[in-house]
Amino acid sequence: MLELKNVSFSVNDGDAKLDIVKDVSLTIPDGKFIVITGPNGGGKSTLARLIMGIENPTSGQILLNGVDITGMTVTERAKMGIGYAFQQPPRFKGLTVRRLLSLAHGNELPEDQCCSYLTKVGLCSRDYLNREVDTSLSGGEVKRIEIATLMARELNVAIYDEPEAGIDLWSFTMLVDSFKAIMANRKESIVIISHQERIMQLADEIVVIADGAIRNYGPKDEVFPKLMNEFDAGCTFRGNEG
Amino acid sequence: MEKIDLSMLQKIADIGSIPSVGAYNIRKNGAGVERRSTENVEIVTKTDKPGIDIKIKPGVKAEKVHIPVIITEEGVNDTVYNDFYIGEGADVEIVAGCGIHNSGCQTSEHDGIHRFFIGKNAKVKYVEKHYGEGEGTGQRILNPTTQVFMEENSYCEMEMVQIEGVDSTIRDTDVHMEAGAKYVVLEKLMTHGKQKAESNMIINLNGKDASAQIISRSVAKDESEQIFKPTAVGNADCKAHVQCDSIIMDSAKISSVPAITANNADAQIVHEAAIGRINNDQLLKLMTFGMTEEEAENIIVQGFLA
Give the three-class secondary structure for B129: strand
CB within 8 Å of B181: residues ≥ 6 apart: B118, B150, B151, B152, B153, B154, B155, B156, B207, B210, B211
**Count of C-beta atoms within a 10 Å radius of residue A186:** 16
CB within 8 Å of A111: residues ≥ 6 apart: A98, A129
Residue A241 lies in a domain: no
What sign does the CA torsion over B282, B283, B286, B289 have?
negative
Average pLDDT of chain A, as a whole number: 89
Count structural domains, chain A. 1
- What is the tens place of the pLDDT at every residue in A4-56? 999 999 999 888 889 999 999 999 999 899 999 999 989 999 999 999 999 99
User: Residue A34 and residue B200: Cα distance in Å, rounded?
Assistant: 57
Element containing residue B283 per DSSP (H, E): helix B280-287
**pLDDT band at residue A242 under the 50/70/90 scheme:** very low
The values of phi and psi at residue B134, to 5°, are: 120, 140
CA distances from residue B176 to A85, B104, B151, B179, B204 in whole angstroms, order as listed: 49, 40, 9, 10, 5
What sign does the CA torsion over A155, A160, A166, A169 have?
positive
Is A231 an interface residue toward B (CB < 8 Å)?
A: no
SS3 for chain A, per residue?
CEEEEEEEEEEEECCEEEEEEEEEEEEECCCCEEEEECCCCCCHHHHHHHHHCCCCCCEEEEEECCEECCCCCHHHHHHCCEEEECCCCCCCCCCEHHHHHHHHHCCCCCHHHHHHHHHHCCCCHHHHCCCECCCCCCHHHHHHHHHHHHHCCCCCEEEEECCCCCCCHHHHHHHHHHHHHHHHHCCCEEEEECCCHHHHCCCCEEEEEECCEEEEEEEHHHHHHHHHHHHHHHCCCCCCCC
- What is the tens place of the pLDDT at every residue in B211-235? 999 999 999 999 999 999 999 999 9
Residue A38 sits in which domain range? 29-57+68-234
pLDDT at A232: 62
- What is the tens place of the pLDDT at every residue in A165-190? 877 777 788 888 888 887 887 788 99
Residues of B in contact with A133 (CB under 8 A): none
Q: Are B119 and B92 within 8 A, CB to CB?
A: no
Is B288 an interface residue toward A (CB < 8 Å)?
A: yes
Counted residue by residue, chain A has a size of 242
> What dihedral angle (degrees, nearest 10) is formed by the CA atoms of A179, A181, A185, A186?
0
- DSSP strand pairing (B259-262 vs B196-205): unpaired
Amino acid at B127: V
Mean pLDDT of A100-122: 91
Residue A126 lies in a domain: yes
Amino acid at A70: T
Is pLDDT larger for residue B108 or for residue A62?
A62
Among B72, B69, B212, B83, smallest CA distance to B143 is for B69
User: Residue B88 and residue A213: Cα distance in Å, rounded?
Assistant: 75
Is pLDDT larger for residue A226 or for residue B57?
B57
Question: How far is C-alpha B81 from the geometric centre of its chain's CA atoms?
Answer: 16
Residues of B in contact with A95 (CB under 8 A): 299-300, 303, 306
pLDDT at A127: 82
pLDDT at A211: 93
pLDDT at A206: 95
Q: Nearest chain A residue to B300 by CA: give it.
A: A92
> Please, what is the Cα angle at B135 between B134 and B139, to 5 degrees?
70
Find the farthest-apart pair of alpha carbons in chain B and give their distance in angstroms, rounded. Answer: 61
User: Residue B27 and residue B39: Cα distance in Å, rounded?
Assistant: 21
Residue A131 lies in a domain: yes
B147 forms bridges with which residues in the sheet?
Answer: B115, B174
Residues of B in contact with A54 (CB under 8 A): 284
Mean pLDDT of A213-236: 81
Mean pLDDT of A88-109: 94
pLDDT at A239: 54
Whole-structure pTM over 0.90, yes or no?
no
Q: Are B180 and B147 within 8 A, CB to CB?
A: no
Q: Nearest chain B residue to A133 by CA: give it.
A: B303
- What is the tens place of the pLDDT at every residue in B157-187? 999 998 778 889 999 999 999 999 999 999 9
The domain that contains A128 carries what CATH number? 3.40.50.300
Q: Nearest chain A residue to B279 by CA: give it.
A: A90
Residues of B in contact with A84 (CB under 8 A): 288
Q: Which of A88-97, A138-147, B94-103 holds the top average pLDDT?
A: A88-97
Q: Nearest chain A residue to B281 by CA: give it.
A: A90
Question: How far is C-alpha B208 from the geometric centre of its chain's CA atoms?
Answer: 27
Kindly give the confidence (pLDDT) of every residue in chain B, 306 residues in length, as a single tens digit, with 9 standing for 90 and above.
Answer: 777 787 778 877 777 677 778 899 988 888 888 899 999 999 999 999 999 999 999 999 988 999 988 888 888 888 899 999 999 999 999 998 888 888 888 888 888 899 999 999 999 999 998 888 887 788 888 899 999 999 999 999 999 998 778 889 999 999 999 999 999 999 999 999 999 999 999 999 999 999 999 999 999 999 999 999 999 999 999 999 999 999 999 999 999 999 999 999 999 999 999 999 999 999 999 999 999 999 999 999 999 998
Residue A24 lies in a domain: no
Among B106, B118, B136, smallest CA distance to B183 is for B118
Is B273 an interface residue toward A (CB < 8 Å)?
A: no
Distance (Å) from the C-alpha of residue A226 to the closest C-alpha of chain B? 35
DSSP B295: H
